[in-house]
Structure 1
Amino acid sequence: MKKIAMLFAVACSVLLSGCATTFSSQVSVFHEWPAAASNKSYIFERSPGQENNPEHKLYEDLLRSRLQVLGFTEISAGATPAMKVGLKYGTTLREIQYSPLWHPAIYDPFWNMHFSRGIYRYRLGYPYPYWGWGGYPRYWTDFSLRASYLHQLEIHIDEINPAKKLADIKVSSEQTDPEISTFMPWMMDSALKDFPGKNGSTTEVEIKMGK
């Protein structure tokens, strides 16, 4: 029985490890990072639209925890920091993919379409039967539209005195989920992987998501 239990535990661990998905992104890095940056104190720089924005505050918290691991220290109000850190983010509709799907359609007399799991399906015609008005058989198929979204994140770190841009890191990832907040932790990890990274490089980065 003990051997069976051990084999079961090993099998479960293999299955769980196989369930881990990978977050893929493209990361561009440009920097003039000093070889010995002893003072990594910083403050967050915000645009007027980012002040008192709950979403932006959440992303600052994510970035704050990662900067702390890298030896950065956020200073309190009134102190003089060596650097300022800012972030920008956004999502754009990249493309719509088309693919035919053959299955019984549900007719909506008002919109002539129906919605399911984020896919818009439009009635085209043939060859699946349904019973329409007057009891006559009708035939049609569906045509799906699946949206693809490009999520983008930019992190910049500037020296305050003298004024100088130290690092500019950009991350982009294409996903079918329009919510950038879902992927922001992985975008942060991708941006700061091997910080400061190779200057002038653009690389494909893969991060394992949750276990």
Structure 2
Amino acid sequence: MWARWGMAWVAGAVLLLGGCASTVSSQVTAFGETPGFDGQRTYALTRTADQQNNQEHATYERWLRDRLSSDGFSEQSPNSANFLIGMDYGITQQTLRVAEPAYDPMFMRGPWGRPWGWGGYPGYWGPPMYVERDYPYALAGLQLRFTSRASGKEVYRVSVQTADGGNSLATAMPFLIDAALKQLPFPSGRTVTVRQEVK
């Protein structure tokens, strides 16, 4: 299940809280022993029991098919495809607690940058107090598993996470799918940041 491999991604949340970004940043981690996809790029999608007769999942499958097609993959029956591809995904609501500086309004700077205190008399510019604030954000993730139909062994697994994709999985999924297949394959055992423009 996605929650088992999801991780707390504070850096992405900080970027999200910085305002509406023109890009979506995703963290991509892949594992695979094969040097690439040099064989026939044919595939069939697999489903879990929960994904059967699920219209949301069917929509995500359609988006995945379109993206795989642009990478030269063609869909075939599960009995003849070179790769069996399974997908898992999820979204969790997170809270980021940030300590922010807050100055006493009675000791704000006056003209020419001089600090002023009570009643307009010169005061001092004291150290800021810190106030903790909670910021909610959504962490969305996708995992794709490529299994060799002939051997039954998993040959490639890629996981993607983003906190920039909005508050719903449907909003984040196009970015997750694109990031997962931005490079095929990604270096095994490394986490790569993929940035995508918001159109």
The bucket for the TM-score relative to the shorter chain is: 0.5 to 0.7
Q: Is the 8 A contact 1:41 1:74 kept in 2?
A: yes
Aligned position for 2:109: none
Cα pair distance change 1:164/1:205, threshold 3 Å: same
Deviations 1:107-140 (A, max 9, x none): xxxxxxxxxxxxxxxxxxxxxxxxxxxxxxxxxx
- Say how many residue pairs are matched: 149
CA deviation after TM superposition for structure 1 residue 38, in Å: 2.7
Cα pair distance change 1:151/1:208, threshold 3 Å: same
Aligned position for 1:111: none
Q: Is the 8 A contact 2:45 2:86 kept in 1?
A: yes
Deviations 1:132-173 (A, max 9, x none): xxxxxxxxxxx9753111111101111011122111000011
Residue identity in the other structure for 1:21: S
Aligned position for 1:55: 56
| Residue aligned with 1:183, SS | helix
CA distance in 2, matches of 1:175, 1:70: 25
Select the structure of larger CA radius of gyration: 1
Cα pair distance change 1:208/1:162, threshold 3 Å: same
Residue identity in the other structure for 2:86: G
Aligned position for 1:41: 42
Q: Is the 8 A contact 2:143 2:158 kept in 1?
A: yes
The alignment status of 1:189 with 2:178, answered yes or no, reads: yes
Aligned position for 1:11: none
Cα pair distance change 1:33/1:96, threshold 3 Å: same
Residue identity in the other structure for 1:157: F
Cα pair distance change 1:176/1:157, threshold 3 Å: closer
CA deviation after TM superposition for structure 1 residue 49, in Å: 0.5
Task: Within 5 Å, give how 1:162-173 maps onto structure 2.
Answer: 162-173=151-162
Aligned position for 2:70: 69
Q: Which has the higher strand share?
A: 1
Aligned position for 2:88: 88
Cα pair distance change 1:20/1:149, threshold 3 Å: closer
Residue identity in the other structure for 1:64: R
Give me the identity figure in percent. 31
Task: Within 5 Å, give how 1:23-38 maps onto structure 2.
Answer: 23-35=24-36, 37-38=38-39
CA distance in 1, matches of 2:182, 2:95: 28
The alignment status of 1:146 with 2:147, answered yes or no, reads: no
Q: TM-score, structure 2 length as denominator?
A: 0.67
Give unmatched runs, 5+ long, in structure 2. 1-19, 101-131
Q: Is the 8 A contact 2:84 2:146 kept in 1?
A: yes
Aligned position for 2:124: none
| Residue aligned with 1:197, SS | coil
| Residue aligned with 1:42, SS | strand
Residue identity in the other structure for 2:57: H
Give unmatched runs, 5+ long, in structure 1. 1-18, 101-142
CA deviation after TM superposition for structure 1 residue 33, in Å: 3.0
CA distance in 2, matches of 1:89, 1:168: 13
Q: Is the 8 A contact 1:99 1:145 kept in 2?
A: no
Task: Within 5 Å, give how 1:95-174 maps onto structure 2.
Answer: 95-97=95-97, 145-174=134-163
CA deviation after TM superposition for structure 1 residue 73, in Å: 0.9
| Residue aligned with 2:34, SS | coil
